[in-house]
C-alpha cells in the first residue's frame, strides 16, 4: 500500500468524525492531481455513510436520514451528497483546471443531478476542498466559485510519517557531524524552471552543487549561461534521498530549497524536509512569508547566522538577490565551525519533524474541517 493510500484512509476517518452528515470523498488515482487527458478517469469517490442526517434541498435544512428518504432518493434523486475533494498534494491551478472545477461538468459525472428537482445549484450544499497552500489566489478563486477550502500542511505528514520515516534511525543520517562537508551549498532542481535558472545565474555555480538537467515542463527552452548539470542520474523519486555513499546530498552544508511554485503562493513540498532530515540549514526560494510559515509549525530557522529579512521582501527579484547574497557569502565562511555552532537547531528540527509534526498537522486538519463545516457558505459566482 503506497503512502497516499494510507493517508486517504486517515483522511476518511477524520472526515467521518468531523462532518455530521453523509458525504462523498473524492480523490485522485495514479497522479496526485486531475489528469485532463484521462477525462476524469483518474478521480474516484468513496461514500462515507453511517450518518443520520442529510441536506433537504426543498426545505433548505438538514433532516434526519430515514428509510423513506433513502427510497425517495433512489427513486427520484431527491438529494445530492456533499463532497470532499482531496487536492492535498499538488497546487491548485484554478484557471488551468477550470473544466474540472466547473460544477455542471463535475456533477454530471457523479449524478444525473438535473433530475433532482430540489437541487438548485452549488449554493445549496457544501463542497469542501482539502488543499495545502497559503496566500493563494487560486484558493480565493475556488471560494468565489462556491467551494469551501480546508487547509492543512499535507506534505508535512506525507514526509514525516511515510516518505522519510525510514531515514529516522539510519546511522549516516543521525551521525551527521561525522560526514565531511565537501561543498558549501546544494541546490537540487530536477526540472528546469525560469525562477530556478534565474537564481543560479546570481551565484557562482563553480563553488557549489546543483542539478539542472530535465527540461522545463512548460516547454520553455533555457538558453542562459548556467550549463546543464546533475550530481545524480535523476532516477530517484521525490521520496528518496541518496545516502548510499557520500554524495552532494549528504556532504553539502547549506541547502537551497528552490520550491516548485516561486511567487504566487506558499506551497511547501517534500523539498523543505530533505535538509531537515539531513541536518542541514536552509534558505527558501518561494513567496514571502515562507520562513514565518515554517516557524508557525514550530520549526527553527537561521537568523542567528545570516540575515533572514529576505522572507519579508515583496519584490521577487530583490528577494531572490538577497538569498543569492547569502549563498555567495557562505562560500567564504568556515562551514564546519558554523555547523557545530548551529547543531542545537539542526537536531531540534530533526526531532520535531519526526516526533511532533504528524500529530500537529492531523489536529490542524480536524480543527480546520470542523470550522469549515460550521462556517456559512460564502457568496459565490457560478463557474
Domains of the chain in sequence order:
3-151 (no CATH), 166-356 (3.40.50)
Given this model, what pLDDT does residue 135 score? Answer: 93
Please name which of 88, 105, 63, 123 lies closest in space to residue 12, comparing C-alpha atoms: 88
Given this model, what pLDDT does residue 304 score? Answer: 98
Given this model, what pLDDT does residue 23 score? Answer: 81
Q: Has this prediction a pTM greater than 0.85? A: yes
Distance of CA 132 to the CA centre of its chain: 5
Given this model, what pLDDT does residue 2 score? Answer: 80
- Mean pLDDT per block of 10 residues along the chain (383 residues) reads 84 88 80 70 66 50 47 43 87 88 62 47 72 96 90 96 93 93 94 91 96 81 88 69 85 95 92 97 97 98 98 97 98 98 98 98 96 73 46
User: Can you point out the beta strands (E) in the chain?
Assistant: 23-28, 43-48, 53-56, 61-64, 82-86, 127-131, 148-151, 183-187, 209-210, 252-258, 282-285
Mind giving me the DSSP string for 36-68?
GGGTTTTEEEEEE---SEEEETTTTEEEE--HH
Given this model, what pLDDT does residue 116 score? Answer: 46
8 Å CB contact between 101 and 94: yes
The most distant pair of C-alpha atoms in the chain lies apart, rounded to whole Å, by 76
Given this model, what pLDDT does residue 159 score? Answer: 95
Given this model, what pLDDT does residue 240 score? Answer: 78
Which 3 state secondary structure label does DSSP give 86?
strand
Residue 5 buriedness (CB in 10 A; 0-12 / 13-18 / 19+): exposed
Please name which of 208, 204, 228 lies closest in space to residue 216, comparing C-alpha atoms: 228
Amino acid at each position: 500500500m503506497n503512502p497516499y493510500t494510507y493517508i486517504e484512509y486517515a483522511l476518511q476517518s477524520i472526515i467521518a468524525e468531523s462532518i455530521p452528515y453523509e458525504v462523498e470523498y473524492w480523490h485522485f488515482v495514479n497522479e496526485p492531481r486531475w489528469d485532463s487527458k484521462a477525462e476524469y478517469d483518474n478521480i474516484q469517490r468513496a461514500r462515507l455513510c453511517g450518518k443520520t442526517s442529510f441536506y433537504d434541498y426543498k426545505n433548505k435544512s438538514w433532516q434526519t436520514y430515514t428509510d423513506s428518504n433513502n427510497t425517495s432518493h433512489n427513486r427520484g434523486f431527491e438529494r445530492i451528497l456533499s463532497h470532499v475533494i482531496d487536492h492535498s498534494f499538488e497546487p491548485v491551478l484554478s484557471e488551468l483546471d477550470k473544466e474540472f472545477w466547473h460544477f455542471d461538468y463535475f456533477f454530471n459525472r457523479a449524478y444525473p443531478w438535473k433530475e433532482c428537482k430540489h437541487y438548485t445549484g452549488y449554493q445549496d450544499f457544501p463542497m469542501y476542498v482539502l488543499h495545502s497552500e497559503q496566500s493563494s489566489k487560486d484558493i480565493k478563486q475556488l471560494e468565489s466559485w462556491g467551494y469551501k477550502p480546508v487547509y492543512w500542511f499535507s506534505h508535512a505528514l506525507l514526509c514525516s510519517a511515510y516518505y522519510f520515516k525510514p531515514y529516522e534511525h539510519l546511522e549516516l543520517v543521525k551521525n551527521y557531524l561525522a560526514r565531511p562537508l565537501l561543498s558549501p551549498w546544494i541546490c537540487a532542481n530536477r526540472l528546469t524552471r525560469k525562477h530556478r535558472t534565474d537564481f543560479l545565474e546570481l551565484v557562482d555555480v563553480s563553488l557549489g552543487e546543483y542539478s539542472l538537467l530535465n527540461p522545463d515542463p512548460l516547454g520553455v527552452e533555457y538558453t542562459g549561461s548556467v550549463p546543464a548539470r546533475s550530481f545524480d542520474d535523476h532516477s530517484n523519486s521525490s521520496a528518496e534521498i541518496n545516502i548510499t555513499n557520500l554524495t552532494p546530498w549528504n556532504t553539502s552544508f547549506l541547502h537551497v530549497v528552490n520550491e516548485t511554485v516561486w511567487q504566487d503562493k506558499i506551497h511547501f513540498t517534500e523539498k523543505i524536509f530533505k535538509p531537515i532530515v539531513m541536518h542541514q540549514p536552509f534558505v527558501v526560494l518561494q513567496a514571502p512569508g515562507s520562513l514565518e510559515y515554517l516557524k508557525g509549525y514550530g520549526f527553527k530557522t537561521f537568523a542567528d547566522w545570516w540575515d533572514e529579512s529576505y522572507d519579508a521582501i515583496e519584490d521577487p527579484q530583490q528577494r531572490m538577490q538577497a538569498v543569492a547574497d547569502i549563498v555567495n557569502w557562505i562560500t567564504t565562511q568556515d562551514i564546519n565551525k558554523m555547523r557545530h555552532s548551529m547543531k542545537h537547531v539542526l537536531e531540534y528540527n530533526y526531532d520535531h519533524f519526526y516526533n511532533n509534526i504528524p500529530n500537529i498537522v492531523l489536529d490542524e486538519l480536524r480543527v480546520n474541517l470542523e470550522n469549515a463545516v460550521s462556517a456559512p457558505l460564502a457568496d459565490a459566482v457560478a463557474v
